[in-house]
Amino acid sequence: MRDFRQILLGGISLDFRADEQDIIKASANKLKQAGYDPAGLHFRIYRRSIDARRRSDIRAVCSVLVSGEAGRLPSGDKLGRLGGKEFEEANIEVKIGNEKMQGRPLIVGTGPAGMFCGLLLAQNGYAPIVIERGGSVAERTAAVDNFCRTHILDTESNIQFGAGGAGTFSDGKLVTRISDARTSYVLRALHEHGAPDSILTQAKPHVGTDILKIVTQNLLSEIERLGGEVRYHTRLDGFDEYSQAIKANTSQGDIGCGVMVLALGHSARDTGSVLISRGIDVVPKAFSVGVRIEHLQSDIDEALYGNFAGDVRLGPAEYALSDTTGDRGVYTFCMCPGGEIAAAASEQGGLVVNGMSNHARDGRNANSAVAVSVLPEDFGNTVQNAIEFQRNIERAAFVAGGGEFCAPVQTVGDFLQGVSRHAPNRVLPTYMNGHVNMAELGGIFPEFVSNTLRRGLVSFGRKMRGFDAPDAVLTGAETRTSSPVRMPRGETLTAIGHDRIYPCGEGAGYAGGITSAAVDGIRVAQAIMERYAPCGD
């Protein structure tokens, strides 16, 4: 049997209108010019991205996976000179320990961290119990729709709490800066459970809220099919630790378990307070706050794509901007092409916004957060002060909007001048179908945040034409970009001083988005499996 190899050819740059056959032909020609016959080899696009730095010459930049008999493919220095490298499919490592677990593993939270921790444990026979304070996908969708229609908030099931966590109601971006073999597992699992084929090849993959709801339900159903259990409307209210087990106190009664994974997400402030009272070490960390900015998507397309704006092969344009010239950073975050601003409150009397879009990204507006870095010294370097810093802004935004979760808005031109005179006109706010009031947004933030936001808007306007257009619209307040706290853990990934409790994901301070949170959930599942045998063994 002949040896079989795979190589990855990178740096293949073509006009953005090139189709799959054009890209494969270019990679085959690259091999042929180097003296290798491409006949009989198999070619597949591995990654594709758009390089729009030159608007007159927008390129599709691709890497192509080539498979075939080992002797027919370049290797060593020859492969390197072609811009290629050896390729092996990334598979996560599962080691099974022999320590007996006194009860099934309990996972608190069904966001990406908890969901993927539960999936890997279920796939390997550990039959996890997964609890979620919010409702199922269907129940949660109904609660969010009701909030937008009646302005009555369900504090237990909303954009922050419920099946899939905060990521379910988002753009569903899967981009991550981490380099980890577990990322491939996440993408494959999402694809197998309903995400589009494009997430396997796009350099900046996204799913969209409409499809994420389906994928989330499928993943949670898969955990149940494999012997796990998912319980909704079950909030963690405390726990008791024993020598070899834990008793979790929940809103639906006590649950015994062998280990407990804390995958709470970034907004479960009440549960965080309970954990502190039970001796879990929690420390403050840096986070960011700011506003959402809306432009017409057509303006963003024109600014980035020029005469090619609107070409369906490019799709809606995206941006990511930052400025670190001052004493603190300001950056755009979670840009949602063709999306809307979401009402993301989870507490009465506090107003929070986020961004979301469906897979098609076909809305009239583009939006993103413009966020300012907040350092521990800004709020007194305590956990309680970090949370109060966020809450104070959310309460101020609620008051500035006039109550009933009406959002405060201001045009960019007025914000830069410190006035509130011009109502949105060309760019109309998408928050709660226009449930907004004009306000002076600078007043809801500490002065250093407002000043840095102004600096950022002007800086970004220099970098991208029209970003600081006077009629662009700002909506406040974006405060949940990440968790303001971290739960320190040791080498075994357990909480300091708590041998059977595993802090996990974004709420524990170890992730910053869907993919990185899912990866941390997998990492925790691996740590549990490496130590313990499956419950029935």
Preceding amide of 477 cis, omega within 30:
yes
Same domain for 57 and 118, yes or no, is no
Longest dimension (CA), the chain: 77
Same domain for 187 and 241, yes or no, is yes
**Closest C-alpha among 515, 483, 504, 433 to residue 180:** 515
Same domain for 278 and 290, yes or no, is no
Residue 96 lies in a domain: no
Q: What is the CATH number of the domain that holds 132?
A: 3.50.50.60
Same domain for 431 and 294, yes or no, is yes
- % of the chain surpassing 90 pLDDT: 92
Same domain for 226 and 314, yes or no, is no
Range of the domain at 72: 4-86
Same domain for 261 and 366, yes or no, is no
pLDDT (tens digit, 9 = 90+) per residue, 354-401?
999 999 999 999 999 999 999 999 999 999 999 999 999 999 999 999
**Dihedrals φ, ψ of 444, to 5°?**
-90, -5
Same domain for 133 and 246, yes or no, is yes
pTM: 0.95
Residue 92 lies in a domain: no
Residue 423 lies in a domain: yes
Same domain for 68 and 78, yes or no, is yes
Residue 507 lies in a domain: yes
The predicted pLDDT at position 179 comes to: 63
**Closest C-alpha among 384, 437, 387, 368 to residue 407:** 437
Q: pLDDT: is 35 or 88 the higher one?
A: 35
The sign one gets for the Cα dihedral 267, 273, 278, 283 is positive
What's the whole-number mean pLDDT along residues 469-474? 98
Q: What is the CATH number of the domain that holds 71?
A: 3.30.70
| Banded pLDDT at 3 (limits 50, 70, 90) | confident
Same domain for 222 and 124, yes or no, is yes
Same domain for 52 and 191, yes or no, is no
Q: Helix or strand or coil: residue 205?
A: coil
User: In whole angstroms, what is the distance from residue 368 CA to residue 464 CA?
Assistant: 14
| Banded pLDDT at 155 (limits 50, 70, 90) | very high
CA angle, 366 then 367 then 369, to 5°: 160
Task: Report the domain count for the chain.
Answer: 3
